[in-house]
Amino acid sequence: MKFLLGILVVLLLAATVAIFILARRIERARTALDAKKAAVQNRLREHGGDAELEYVVMEIDRALEGVNGGDQAASADRLRELKTVILKNHAARPTPFDAAGACDDVVEAWRRQVPHEEIVFSRSVDGPIEISGDPDLFRWSLRELFSNVVAHGGPWSRIAVELGSEDGSAFLSFTDDGEGPDLTMISRLYGPFTPRIESEGPGLGLFAVRAIVEKMGGSVKASPGDGGGLRHTVRLPLNPSDRARNRPAEATSRA
């Protein structure tokens, strides 16, 4: 009996020590997380706080803590890319640039990547279309729209990009002929952590696109394409000098 009691005491002591060690580890993890949260909050506070952005960055950090490498390395790289883009956009300072030239660059790059598919770029305005924002992030958002079709659009053969201006705004229409999502999914496409069905991604790419567009003073919305697929419509304010300079012209298209 004394022997059994001795074993029981030893087991209780071991369990107590294990619980203590676990509690310390949890406390250290909580402290580290609080420190990261404070760092994010301080960075955001420098440029004006944003609750949604803070939530997204914290969730990205939380997801990265659970990545162990191996097959998850690509997911981790994608999360780090999105975090970098989101924070860079939050701190961005607008500079004037030509939206037409930026679109042309991205379209040509994607034509080289998917040479067997049709990518049409048409413009309804002659000359440059000057807007303000971060040109690199604007290009990133366009590339993200292309990537979204390739990753989630199902079988597709054509993407039509239309750029123009009207009523003091630049507009960009991006339409594919793939398998568009249902109306319920369309209504929440630009929200954070809204991956498409059967997608293994974090569901943040189009959220980042929306954040970039809104930072530039614009808006973006999604709707079904005329013959299926999905259409993104972006509207951005023209620079004041460009409102007077731009004039409507016959649409030109380069397939």
Q: What is the pLDDT of residues 109-130, one digit of tens each?
A: 999 999 999 999 999 888 899 9
CA-derived radius of gyration, the chain: 24
Assess contact for 202 and 78: CB atoms under 8 A.
yes
Q: Which residues contact 18 (CB under 8 A, 6 or more apart)?
A: none
For 158, other C-beta atoms within 10 Å of its C-beta total 16
Assess contact for 158 and 165: CB atoms under 8 A.
no
Burial class, 85, CB count within 10 angstroms (exposed 0-12 / middle 13-18 / buried 19+) = buried
**Residue 28 pLDDT:** 72
- 22 versus 86: which is more confidently predicted? 86
List the alpha helices (DSSP H) in the chain.
2-46, 51-65, 73-91, 99-113, 135-152, 183-186, 205-215, 240-245
Assess contact for 119 and 161: CB atoms under 8 A.
yes
In this model, does residue 250 exceed pLDDT 60?
no
Work out the pLDDT band at 183, boundaries 50, 70, 90: confident
Q: What is the pLDDT of residues 200-230, one digit of tens each?
A: 778 899 999 999 999 999 999 999 988 789 9
**Residue 198 pLDDT:** 63
Residue type, 185: M
| Domains, the chain, ordered by start | 2-91 (no CATH), 96-254 (3.30.565.10)
For 31, other C-beta atoms within 10 Å of its C-beta total 10
